[in-house]
Amino acid sequence: MIKLLDKKLFRYLSVFLFLNSATLPINSSSALAAWAIKTNGFLELRTKSNTNLEAYFQKSNQIYGDRFWVDFPGELKNPRTIKGNGSIKEIRLGKPSKGKTRLVIEFKEGTYLNPLTWRMIGLDQNRWKIKLFNPKNSFKKIGEGLVENTRRNFRSNQNTNYKRKNNYDFLKLPEVKQNKFSVVIDPGHGGPDPGAIGIAGIRETDVVLDVSKMVRNLLSEKGVNALLTRKNEVDLDLAPRVSFANNMDADIFVSIHANASRGKRRDINGLETFYYRGWRGRLLAKRIQKQILRVSPGSPDRGVKQGRFYVIKNTRMPAVLVEIGFLTGRLDARRLEKTIHRKRLAYAIAKGILEYLDKLG
Ligand SMILES: [Zn+2]
């Protein structure tokens, strides 16, 4: 029954995968080690390391209420149902097919959900979280097992480079005052102007539009009025980008670009952020530069600099131009072609922006 229903209507969520999937042998035990739905509406999961998760959402129908489920490799021993409370009707753990485990969360009728904004975030090699709902009246935590890593594990992991490289916990975005700020994000180039062309034909216009959209979404989720100067491949001059931001009376303006080196030298990589004037612009540039470097280990810090670029010179609010790497550089290009790296950069840019707004708002 479930299988038939599963074939239609569901939506694949953007699941934030930090690690390569490791396929477990079909008869191995479930990769799901512990789970909890916390009082703040977050679902937290602990899995075996390097587990590949798939998450789905399906709107209610005659048989079920709204459902969110996650599939894990490895077979569950004891299928079971756990009674919910508040917005949660019940939680079911089952095996949808041989060698799989499914965790289903069914919501009560009338719960407001916005699955389009849901993001599964990997906290480290084996922990995940996703915000599912805003508990209005008191919701009591439901769960099985310990979702937090034990202290011992945490310590031993911290001593290795591997841990340092893969722990993106620091990308947790800060909270800012809701509906107070407006930010204009400007994806560089577009239409007949592709910007820089890098290794294997990777185009600046595509990369920066993708990253810009992710930044816009992340800021929107935090209650910031975030707008893009362009949403698709259009030819957009520099003057309208500036007047858009000025007319909006935006609080800040962030133009996103990727670099190319003269002679397309593959050994030149790095990140840099420009501002034109003022300590505010400089502070914003510093915040963003610091964050983007953290998600680009090994890529040189080319610094925060003053630059006379048209879009940051003529906008009236604090404005920066971010160069997120060299499309012609071996290290940067290999990363910039990957969605996962673009997501990390988007988180980093959003974090820099939110930190700035939090400090000056
Ligand atoms: Zn550019």
Q: How far apart, in whole angstroms, are the C-alpha atoms of residue 167 and residue 182?
A: 30
Residue 196 alpha carbon to ligand 1 centre in Å: 6
Mean pLDDT of 239-261: 97
Residue 121 alpha carbon to ligand 1 centre in Å: 30
pLDDT score of 191 more than 50 = yes
Residue 187 alpha carbon to ligand 1 centre in Å: 9
Residues ≥6 apart with Cβ < 8 Å to 113: 57, 66, 107, 132, 133
pLDDT value of residue 63: 83
Residue 322 alpha carbon to ligand 1 centre in Å: 9
Q: How far apart, in whole angstroms, are the C-alpha atoms of residue 309 and residue 101?
A: 53
Give pLDDT tens digits for 278-289: 999 999 999 999
Residues ≥6 apart with Cβ < 8 Å to 169: 123, 124
pLDDT value of residue 24: 44
pLDDT score of 177 more than 90 = yes
Residue 323 alpha carbon to ligand 1 centre in Å: 8
In angstroms, the first-to-last Cα distance of the chain is: 52
Residue 101 CB burial class (10 angstroms; 0-12, 13-18, ≥19): buried
pLDDT score of 21 more than 50 = no
**Which tops the pLDDT comparison, 157 or 295?**
295
Task: Choose the weakest-confidence range: 71-80, 86-95, 214-223.
Answer: 71-80
Give pLDDT tens digits for 199-239: 999 999 999 999 999 999 999 999 999 999 999 999 899 99
Residue 223 alpha carbon to ligand 1 centre in Å: 28
Residue 188 alpha carbon to ligand 1 centre in Å: 5
- Backbone phi, psi, residue 339, to 5°: -60, -40
**Which tops the pLDDT comparison, 113 or 213?**
213
Residue 171 alpha carbon to ligand 1 centre in Å: 25
pLDDT value of residue 151: 45
Residue 249 alpha carbon to ligand 1 centre in Å: 24
Q: Whole-prediction pTM value?
A: 0.57
* Strand pairing category for 100-107 and 142-144: unpaired
Mean pLDDT of 280-307: 96
pLDDT value of residue 358: 95
Residue 257 alpha carbon to ligand 1 centre in Å: 4
Residue 194 alpha carbon to ligand 1 centre in Å: 9
Residue 90 alpha carbon to ligand 1 centre in Å: 50
Residue 267 alpha carbon to ligand 1 centre in Å: 19
Residue 112 alpha carbon to ligand 1 centre in Å: 41
Q: Which two tokens stand for residue 187?
A: 């994806």
Residue 259 alpha carbon to ligand 1 centre in Å: 6
Residue 7 alpha carbon to ligand 1 centre in Å: 43
Q: Which two tokens stand for residue 332?
A: 């940067």
pLDDT value of residue 116: 78
Residue 145 alpha carbon to ligand 1 centre in Å: 49
Residue 300 alpha carbon to ligand 1 centre in Å: 18
Residue 356 alpha carbon to ligand 1 centre in Å: 24
- Residues near ligand 1 ion, CB 5 Å cutoff: 188, 195, 257
Q: How far apart, in whole angstroms, are the C-alpha atoms of residue 165 and residue 191?
A: 36
Mean pLDDT of 2-28: 37
**Helix segments in 266-338, DSSP class H:** 279-294, 310-314, 330-336
pLDDT band at 27 (very low <50, low <70, confident <90, very high): low
DSSP state of 69: E
pLDDT value of residue 22: 39
Q: How far apart, in whole angstroms, are the C-alpha atoms of residue 73 and residue 98?
A: 10
pLDDT score of 8 more than 50 = no
